[in-house]
Amino acid sequence: MTRSPANTAVAVLMGGWSAEREVSLSSGTACAGALKRAGFRVTPVDVQRDTVVALLQQLKPDVAFNALHGKWGEDGCCAAILETLGIPYTHSGVLASSLAMHKEKSKAIFRAAGLPVAESLLVPLEDVAERHPMALPYVVKPVAEGSSVGVHIVLENANGPVRAVLDERAIFGSHAMVERFVPGKELTCAVVGDRPLGVIDIVSKSSSWYDYKAKYAPGGSQHILPAQIPASVYRRCQDYALVAHQALGCRGVSRADFRYDDRPGHEELILLEVNTQPGMTGTSLVPELAAHAGWSYEDLVTWMVNDASVDR
Ligand SMILES: Nc1ncnc2c1ncn2[C@@H]1O[C@H](COP(=O)(O)OP(=O)(O)O)[C@@H](O)[C@H]1O
Ligand SMILES: [Mg+2]
């Protein structure tokens, strides 16, 4: 539906208490600014666990714009509260959000949809710290985190297994996902509604993979858009992003992360994950992909507000 900006009160939910709180504050501030410029009546809300429900009941916004990342904001819990309160909201609903957040559960759905994913195991943290759970090189990551928090890459020349996971129990929980390392390029593609946008090749400056610093430090990574890859791989990336979005039942905007091994003889495109609350900071990938498709940042957030609903 089309909502008239002057008559639409939008609460921008940001911050929260996940490991990605700071990123969300920057996504939320950018979204709130753009929504104001587009003429909406905007209330920024720094979400706190003990006040969020009462605050939303009091504000009664026409739309809740979800700019949260990580636990609670991205895993379906926030969507469940908005469903309960009957407040139309942006992005995916409860089920798609919780499935996408759980890297093992979403993989089962991706496999069933015919999408290529990397082999992985769920391994107790103690075992990850003690011995290599699979042939090197491999990646150790939390089953349900984002922003590369807790991701460890174990390359062929590693001295031993990742002992540090034992100090990161708060992030990992009892088990870690151990996944085959896929060398090559880091690609990402966003989906808006039923439409895949372009494909970005992310070249990290300081490290060989897309770690937290590469994601958020100024100049931490270079984005090549459109990605300089064969046209058939570019299209495959867009197809996979859309199929993954639909297989999980995502709504609004999502973004799929890939690895593309372009070594002759090894060529493979692997889907790593779908993000149901992709970053919306000034240097984030989704606004850049939208700009490439001819949408300003204001156009993008306006589309998201118009797309907001309950029963998602
Ligand atoms: N199997 C893998 N092979 C190579 N690199 C990986 C692999 N899994 C993760 N990475 C690296 O770690 C980053 C974060 O992993 P990802 O699965 O996207 O989790 P999240 O972004 O939710 O933290 C990726 O963008 C990539 O750079
Ligand atoms: Mg990712």
Active site residue 251: no
The answer to whether position 303 is within a domain reads no
State the total domains in the chain. 3
Cα separations in angstroms, 244 against 118, 154, 192: 15, 27, 13
Sequence-distant (6+) residues with CB within 8 A of 37 are 298
Distance CA 176, CA 75 (A): 18
CA-183 nearest atom, ligand 1:
4
Question: Which CATH number covers residue 79?
Answer: 3.40.50.20
Contact 277, 304 (CB under 8 A): no
How does pLDDT run along the chain (312 residues), one tens digit per residue?
A: 999 999 999 999 999 999 899 999 999 999 999 999 999 999 999 999 999 999 999 999 999 999 999 999 999 999 999 999 999 999 999 999 999 999 999 999 999 999 999 999 999 999 999 999 999 999 999 998 877 889 999 999 999 999 999 999 999 999 999 999 999 999 999 999 999 999 999 998 877 778 887 777 878 889 999 999 999 999 999 999 999 999 999 999 999 999 999 999 989 999 999 999 999 998 899 999 999 999 999 999 999 999 999 999
pLDDT value, residue 220? 83
Question: Which CATH number covers residue 189?
Answer: 3.30.470.20
How many of the other CB atoms lie within 10 Å of CB of 2? 7
Contact 31, 253 (CB under 8 A): no
pLDDT value, residue 303? 98
121 phi and psi angles, rounded to 5 deg: -130, 150
Indicate if 152 and 51 belong to the same structural domain: no
Contact 246, 96 (CB under 8 A): no
Q: What amino acid is encoded at 280 in this protein? A: M
Domain residue limits at 238: 100-116+183-292
Closest ligand to C-alpha of residue 179 is 1
pLDDT value, residue 206? 75
pLDDT value, residue 210? 81
Indicate if 109 and 214 belong to the same structural domain: yes
Question: Which CATH number covers residue 155?
Answer: 3.30.1490
Indicate if 141 and 236 belong to the same structural domain: no
Distance CA 275, CA 290 (A): 16
The answer to whether position 206 is within a domain reads yes
pLDDT value, residue 127? 97
Name the residue among 161, 152, 154, 150 with its Cα closest to residue 127.
161
The answer to whether position 209 is within a domain reads yes
Indicate if 203 and 155 belong to the same structural domain: no
Contact 44, 14 (CB under 8 A): yes
Which of 20, 102, 106, 148 gets mutated to test ligand 1 (max ligand atoms within 8 A of its CB)?
Answer: 148
Active site residue 138: no
Omega into 5 within 30° of 0, i.e. cis?
no
The answer to whether position 70 is within a domain reads yes
pLDDT value, residue 213? 79
Active site residue 156: no
